Each structure stands twice: as structure tokens, then as C-alpha cells.
A and B are shown apart, each in its own frame.
Chain A
């Protein structure tokens, strides 16, 4: 292998990911080639030097600062939703409770209507003939006072 081939393996060699056989070839080559040895040193050293740039720490209170910054950025409806979420329960639970309430109300209304129908049907079945007459002539009975006040009503033949 020439210097160009060896140089292509430098970075993998520095990363320690070169196969054992290829690593031996690199080591043997740099032992005898001054130019490649210097180059490899430069690559290694510059890579190591990057480590001198130490990490920085976040400024304390970055989480509360985040929530404050977020509150300025959210549209009004998101803020209301956020407030509701904070007041009550997680979003999933809120949705499920709301759905359960809607279902309960719908069931209550349906059952109530059904029992009213049943009650009316029972009443109608158990009514006497006299009661039926009242029901059938309900409009007439309701206006009985008015009819009686009319003069000559007795003379009208139905």
C-alpha cells in the first residue's frame, strides 16, 4: 500500500474502528514513513484538541424560563386549553371523562323518554269508556265555558 491508501485509513484508525489486520498495516507503514507519521500525528492531535472545548452548563432556572417564554408564544385558545389541562387532569383523561358524560346524558334522556312512552301506553290501556270519551272530546270540554256562554247554543243540532 502506498501513502495515499494508508491516509484513507487514518480517520478510522484514529477512531479505533480499524480491523486488526489493517491496523497492523497502518502501524507498520507509519513506522517507516516520516511524512505519514507527521500527518497522522497532526490528525490525532487536532482531534484531541477539540476536547479542550469544554461543555457549558445551562443557566439555572431554564425550565421555568421555558414555560414563561412558551406562555408568551401560545395563541389565546391554546392558553385556555393549557389552563384547563393544568386545572384538571391529563388531556387523555379529560377527553374520556367528557365523552363519558356525553354518553351518560344521552342514555338518561333516552331512558326517560322511553319510560314516559310506557307510562302513557299503560294509562291508555287501563282507561274506562267514560275516560275515553273525555279524552276524545278534550277540545270540546276545554271550551265548555265558552260554548255555554253563547246564546242559542241549546238550539244547535249536531
Chain B
């Protein structure tokens, strides 16, 4: 299968042509938003990170920000720093340039520019130029084998494991059969289903990693001396009929399909293997989404039973309802309906094909609802304190 996308100078395939305004630190959020407000078509993110972080936690924030700037769905990037922060905006911009030779990268430092108004102006001038250049990019035919799909489920209900997740699993299998790559994530929501994934690992070492990341995740709850049911399943999950994390996980794991597991990677690390890959992320939807995007996925399919509207600013986030009532009720936000499986009116394979076809249409430019509505959800997982 093929789609029409953007061939980047570094050889990677993009499915969008965004100009991203990227604050390297929390203090630059307002300027980043001001730049995006001034330039029609630019996207921006906001976050709480970049200063007074330490060690591995700081490194993780750096990795996520650089990966968003370097992402193949991004044509050009304006990096905004304050000037005195721990995570140097200069270093973020340099790393993006090194990873993507030829990509337009503009660095704006608020203290150097003489304040927020001047910095916003400098950023807007650069973003305006980039959008002009971006509009002249010509799409080319690209093989589906170059797609990396991020899979996600959030606001799960008891139908997640019956309809939308098995259907997404079918779509995952179809992409892998076409040579592509699928990310399974949200480690918390694999507790109780790890043996199913580990049994499909390509090597004993990969299987061992499955058990390792689950043990680390579960230990966080036990070390805190709490019952994980305080947060997982969520109150909405429980209202929807999910009684335990195991039940939620066993429904979640269907979205990974049936193919062999090639690799287990850390949060926001680049996906380097083809086929099915497990990224160790939290279950919190936005931190997971951000980690998978940093890993290089160009498209996300997100199943939901309770209903969610979120979307990455740079990666189309397609929503699939587990039940037709939700599809009608939150139709402004949900793209596809897997409810006919519950009603017995369609098979898992049929809806799986619908999801795969929609993925390729979106890869070629069809806008999903989260994009049309301007969602720009972004949250970097934290593993250390703010000092």
C-alpha cells in the first residue's frame, strides 16, 4: 500500500508539513503561543519543563523536545528559550539541526531579543518565512512500510477489549504485513497481560524486558504503599464496567494485534526496529502520546469507550469509539465507530480494514477531527523532582 507524503532531507517520511513553535522551557510558553497566534498555520506546544531539572529527568525532557523538532511531520521549527534555563534552547536547536540537515530551524532567545514582544516578532518573522517555504513542498508517493503507527487507548470501557482494540489489532497486523511498524505502549495498562506479549517476543532477551518493565511499573505502586486501584482503573473505567487493572490490560493488549514483538524500548526513544515494538510509557494518555511521537510515529490511532478529544499538535490522532452510543454522543471528536462489532453487525476484521484504510487516507492528507479542532496536547513524562 502507498500514501502521498513528504520525503525529508534526512530520508525520513512525513505525513504532515507543520511549522512547530517549540518552547525549550516553561518560561517561553507565552512567547511560543504568541508567535503561533500571529502566523496562520503554525502549531505550538506548551509544557512545564526545561528548568531546574536534574540528570535522567532533564535528559528525558531534552530528548522529547529535540525529537519533536526533528520529527518528519515537521517542516521547520522555531525554538524559543528564555536565556538562563537549565535546558539550553541553543543546544535543543543545535541537536535538531544535527539530526535533520536542511530543516529550517530558528532559535529565538527572549533575553537576547530584548523581551517578549521583540522575541515574538522575531519568531513570527521566521515562522512566516518557513510557512511560505513549506507550502511549496510537493508530496511524493511513499510505501506504507515507512509508516510508524502509535496505538493508544484511553477512557476505556468494557467494550474496548471486545470491539475497538481487537479491530485496531487487525489494522496493526495489516500495517506490519505491509512492512510497517506499530508501537504498543502504556505499560501500566499491560499489567496482567504481559505474559501474552512476552510469549510473542522474538528472543528470550526481549521477553525478559517485557517482565522487567512491568515489574518496575508495578513496584512503583507497591513502593508507595497504595492500592493501584486508586488511579487504575480510573473512576470512568470503573463506571464503564472495568473491575481491575488486569481486566483493563487484557482488553488493551488486543490493539497490538498478533505479530511477533521485536523490541522493548524506553520512553521517547527512537523506534529502530520494524514490526511490533513496545515502548515503556505511563498509562496517562498525553504523556504516552508525547512519548510515542518522540519515538517517531507519524500517525496515532486512539480507541476510547468513555470518550476523549486529545490530539498531538504534529501527529494526526484518529479516534475510534468502542460503542456506537459514544460515536453519536461525541461525534465532534470521534472519527470512526467500532460499535457495530458489539452489535454483531460487523466483524473485527471488517472494522480493522476500515481503520487501516482511514490511516492511509489520513497519511495522504485527510484531516482527522482532533486536527480540525486544533488539539495540541503535549506532556513530557517526569521521572525526577523539580529542584
On whether the two chains bind one another, the answer is no
Which residues of B are in contact with A by a Cβ distance under 8 Å? none
